Structure 1
Amino acid sequence: MFLRMLGAVVVIGMSLAGCNFKGVPDPDVSARDREWMSLVPQADVDPQFGRYMIDDPTGEPPGTIVVDQKSRLLYFVLPDRKAIRYGVAVGDEAYGWTGTAEVARKAEWPNWNPPAEMKARWPHVRFTEGGPNNPLGARALYLYENGRDTLYRIHGTNEPEKIGQAVSSGCIRMRNIDVIDLYNRTKVGARVIVK
């Protein structure tokens, strides 16, 4: 039994030896960010959905955001063939969106005004001011395609326990600390690929 366990540990260690990733420190946050994030329920995040610097798997130019919905991962491409990988929650099958867009605007602790089709599905949803109870969380990146608002966002969440799942109405949700990190790195006009 011991030898089998030891063998398994050696195999796992050898398979991980080829991985090249490291954790990325939390970004600096304001006093308001700290206070409001402390009011959002905390959740343990599976380590596979943590924030890591890795070798770039996308081949896209620096500054590009790539969302891989199947793996529930978002990549922000850096220079020198590196990327930061974040865990995300994505749209469930009925509401997922794929395509290429650009970040047309960015907002801190944005207000949320659900679109008409969402209100029709869920009459209980309504306008919510920015803050810890807002489903858009700490930051939002607004995605436009050919100059038109797609109504899809990359944003924080007040449900961090759902990272790694297909649960949204199409938006890409991130832990608040992760979306702050991405927001700080992303320029208006950045290309976003959702596949």
Structure 2
Amino acid sequence: MPTVCTLSRRAFLLGAAATLAGCATTETSVKNAPIPQKVSYPIVPATVEELAARYAAVEDGGHVIPAIPYQEIDPKYYRQRVTDPTGEPAGTVVVDTASRFLYVVEPGGTAMRYGVGIGRDGFAWEGEGVIQWRQPWPRWKVPADMIKRQPSLAKYSVENGGMEPGIKNPLGARALYIHQGGKDTLYRLHGSPDWKSIGKATSSGCVRLINQDVLDLYKRVPYHARIVVHQGGLESV
């Protein structure tokens, strides 16, 4: 049985880098993401029209992202503004792996919440870091340890240049790269073409979002944003 990695809230497990390397890609810096703004109450659910627009097909960077059949997803995983449950300062990204939610904390007591897919047991981690790099349409370069588990991925190895960006790329339309202590943890927040994985534990350690949601997240997260990941759920903090 694989060992589940655990960690204090102030440090990442250094050994996690080896097991989470499956999400490694080329990195590009983007420095000017906006700080989340205060919003007005009340917080109301999205209408059917708003949801249809939110998850409609979209063209981005020369790629056409297909519409998401959002009716087939549990509504709690829709992107939505909620009362902030994290207690963290505005601008902080918080991942609650137990509930499969990612939050971007806003001023004034609210947060934008996204449904996510997470790493399966044995690839999970918890801790605190910084979103150091961000990249649109990243390449997926599969490291050797992942190829050992899945030999069919050898054609996307680092030596072979990886998988080119596109709607079939497992890293999706955007990737945000997590560093700790000035070093790459090889842990990512990224888009995914597999919308059915949202709310499930299936990936090799990284947090995945619907592509339409990662586009929105990318606009909201400040450069050098603090990120906190909880394995036990927010209620245990």
TM-score band w.r.t. shorter chain: 0.7 to 0.9
Task: Give yes or no for the alignment of 1:81 onto 2:109.
Answer: yes
SS at structure 2 position matched to 1:178? helix
Moved more, 112-121 or 133-142: 112-121
Q: Distance in 2 between matches of 1:34 and 1:45?
A: 27
For residues 173-192 of structure 1, what are the structure 2 equivalents within 5 Å? 173-192=208-227
What is aligned with 1:152?
187
One of 99, 112, 120 as aligned partner of 2:148? 120
* % identity of equivalent residues: 41
One of 193, 196, 203 as aligned partner of 1:161? 196
1:32 to partner: Cα distance? 3.2
Q: Is the Cα contact below 8 Å between 1:73 and 1:88 reproduced in 2?
A: yes
Q: Cα–Cα, structure 1 residues 46 and 67, in superposed 2: closer, same or farther, change >3 Å?
A: same
SS at structure 1 position matched to 2:196? helix
Q: Is the Cα contact below 8 Å between 1:41 and 1:158 reproduced in 2?
A: no
1:117 to partner: Cα distance? 1.9
Q: Distance in 1 between matches of 2:177 and 2:188?
A: 5
The runs of at least 4 aligned residues of structure 1 exceeding 6 Å deviation read 27-30
What is aligned with 1:133?
168
SS at structure 2 position matched to 1:22? coil
Root-mean-square deviation (CA), in Å? Answer: 2.5
One of 190, 204, 207 as aligned partner of 1:172? 207
What is aligned with 1:10?
none
Q: Is the Cα contact below 8 Å between 1:137 and 1:158 reproduced in 2?
A: yes
Q: Distance in 2 between matches of 1:45 and 1:30?
A: 19
Q: Deviations over 1:12-69 (max 9, x none)?
A: xxxxxxx95533963999733584212x875622101111101100010111110000
Q: Is the Cα contact below 8 Å between 1:41 and 1:159 reproduced in 2?
A: no
Q: Cα–Cα, structure 1 residues 144 and 94, in superposed 2: closer, same or farther, change >3 Å?
A: same
One of 45, 55, 66 as aligned partner of 1:22? 45
The structure with the larger Rg is 1
Q: Cα–Cα, structure 1 residues 50 and 33, in superposed 2: closer, same or farther, change >3 Å?
A: farther
Q: Distance in 2 between matches of 1:21 and 1:122?
A: 44
Q: Structure 2 stretches of 5 or more lacking a match?
A: 1-41, 157-161, 231-237
Q: Structure 1 stretches of 5 or more lacking a match?
A: 1-18
Q: Distance in 2 between matches of 1:34 and 1:91?
A: 29
Moved more, 51-60 or 124-133: 124-133
Q: Cα–Cα, structure 1 residues 29 and 145, in superposed 2: closer, same or farther, change >3 Å?
A: farther
